Chains A and B, each alone.
Chain A
């Protein structure tokens, strides 16, 4: 029982429940199926990012460049689609964005895996460099007339219906990307040697190397995988927003990392679960979209998220410190 309550997942789940109860009391309109589908829709891109960022934290690093990778892949792929005249082939957009994302992710991996530089500073550098390159050499104009393939993709729904109250409810196909990222990442982390090696490397790089894990190769996989997911998330974002904006997405990275650390992933590596990450994302998306329903102005968003980061990282850090003090 004690271990259950000292887990981040439990803490975050309790905060989510409390938030929903209070919001529902203050604003009864909150408790509708429309709110839930809206939240889901708003959570797809952050969710995919968070799964990617969680994997990096588990591996013992931190990545802040994924938003720039997403913006870069999304904008370049959209431009290429239009230039090649294959605007109705959404698959091209996804393939190209995934390939660009992979390339940029591998660039991170070269600095982190091969050259062994500190991950935060490397990805801060690549964040700025990727974005600067995109805006200087690829373009800085909005593409408001996105290719028809992307519009169709945004319009296609897994589920469409109407509530008894008459409001429109729909779950976009794009949700499948989040589901796919969740299932695949869960499978890799929990059911493959590759995933267990990544967790081991995050726990102790030295020990992982001694038991024969190719630590550098693992890092190439992690940052490449993050690149691919980011590229795909970029296209999903542009499709849903129906605009390819090269200035979009960058700036979201802090919220995503907040979501992931709230969910219990630790900067020291080796810790992090899919469930926790999804709970963290849920909380961040709730705060972004529903804080206003509580009567709290949206200007408070940053303050609330900042406090949650400190709370989510402070509790386990404090407990670890007390345990260490007790055993010493």
Chain B
């Protein structure tokens, strides 16, 4: 914390532009925390934690909420938040499930499983993109604050999911569909592969394209980016569209792992995805944060979660720890952000 931090120098955007991959003490600290948690858990439960079986089961568990965290990160980089990710993930999954159950019986008659699954995944992605587009439009064009806009659409997405399923789980997918959530390629879990591909893609998008550059600029200072000729409205819409699409991918992975789709799956993931984003160094005021930080945050939370399970902590105790951890991380990061962004903080005042 005492070392000078490139992301907190007087002109953070400039330093980022000059060298997007420069060493970052925030990342170093996060890496140290992740390793420390891993070592402590391995020492506490060597026969359980430090085993190939546990590593493999963790690699199946975290991708779904890691992908949701990527969605949350994109929204947070704009200075907003996306509270509708879980609702959209479940709605996408349920519509994909309807496609699977509607065309599944054809498989017995010799249809192609791949075709049906591809159609189901495409449906989910389309719903995610549409939902994200709706979020983006009502935030950027109508001007509803992101919290309330995504709170409202989140209720609507979940509500539609409940109406469509009457609160019941949708079951009965073709066997091949479970590969997405439970399969392995050369011993590497498929969900992990999906997350890795998405993380690399998002990192590329943020660090190597004009879209990412403008997104960081707008998140840092929306007025400056407008005066620099950036189309803030279009950019915000595209960011939420991306966030929605990522949420729907998480929905597909979640549904394949559970082998069912339901309106209230993953409700605890909302807090978890915000916690991961904040822990990973994404500034909730926008403009700061990297995919690398997010990945480390995901890993450290998964290590903690698995470790707590082995130590037989109850789910309630975990809930308490997640909440307390979110506050603690915010305090540590906040002191840091606060040092360099007093004017921004004053401008945004007590507003979330």
Contact = CB atoms under 8 A, between A and B. Distances in A.
Contacts of A301: 159
Given A128-B326, A267-B351, A313 B278 contact: no
A254 B151 contact: yes
Given A129-B323, A130-B323, A219-B350, 8 more contacts: A124-B271, A129-B320, A206-B346, A254-B151, A267-B145, A305-B155, A306-B153, A313-B144
A314 B156 CA distance: 15
Nearest to B314: A136
A133 B320 contact: yes
Contacts of A125: 271, 275, 323-324, 326-327, 330
A122 interface: yes
A119 interface: yes
A317 B320 CA distance: 36
Contacts of B320: 128-129, 131-133, 135-136
Interface stretch (B57-65, B160-168, B238-246): B160-168
A127 interface: yes
Given A206-B347, A267-B147, A269-B350, A121 B156 contact: no
A308 to B, nearest CB: 8
Contact of A60 (B167, B271, B327, B349): B349
B40 interface: no
Interface stretch (A14-22, A89-97, A110-118, A141-149): A110-118
Interface in B317-352: 317-324, 326-327, 330-331, 334-335, 338, 345-347, 349-352
- The CB with the most chain A CB atoms within 10 A, among B148, B157, B326, B347, is that of B148
- Residue with the highest number of chain B CB atoms closer than 10 Å, among A124, A304, A320: A124
Interface string B292-332: 00000000000000000000001011111111101100110
Contact of B352 (A119, A127, A300): A119
A71 B350 CA distance: 26
Contacts of B155: 254, 258, 302-303, 305-306, 309
B350 A60 contact: yes
Of listed A257, A302, A317, residue having the most chain B CB within 10 A: A302
- Band of interface residues on B: 35 or more
A135 B284 contact: no
Contacts of A306: 152-157, 159
Interface of B: 81, 138, 142-145, 147-149, 151-160, 162-163, 166-167, 271, 274-275, 278, 284-285, 314, 316-324, 326-327, 330-331, 334-335, 338, 345-347, 349-352
Contacts of A309: 148, 151-152, 155
A6 interface: no
Nearest to B145: A267
Give the one of A117, A120, A136, A305 with max B CB within 10 A.
Answer: A117
B350 A61 contact: yes
A8 B350 CA distance: 23
A35 interface: no
Contacts of B147: 62, 120, 267
Nearest to A68: B323
A315 to B, nearest CB: 9
Interface string A24-54: 0000000000000000000000000000000
Contacts of A131: 316, 319-320, 323
Interface string A90-107: 000000000000000000
Interface in A277-320: 297, 299-307, 309-310, 313-314, 317-318, 320
A54 B129 CA distance: 33
Contacts of A132: 316-323
B73 to A, nearest CB: 14
B218 to A, nearest CB: 18
13 contacts: A62-B147, A111-B331, A115-B330, A118-B285, A124-B271, A129-B320, A131-B320, A135-B320, A206-B347, A268-B145, A297-B163, A303-B155, A318-B143
Rank and list the top 9 A-B pairs by shortest CB-CB distance, nearest first: A132-B320, A129-B323, A302-B159, A205-B349, A128-B323, A306-B155, A303-B159, A132-B319, A306-B156
Interface centre among A215, A300, A306 (most CB of B within 10 A): A306
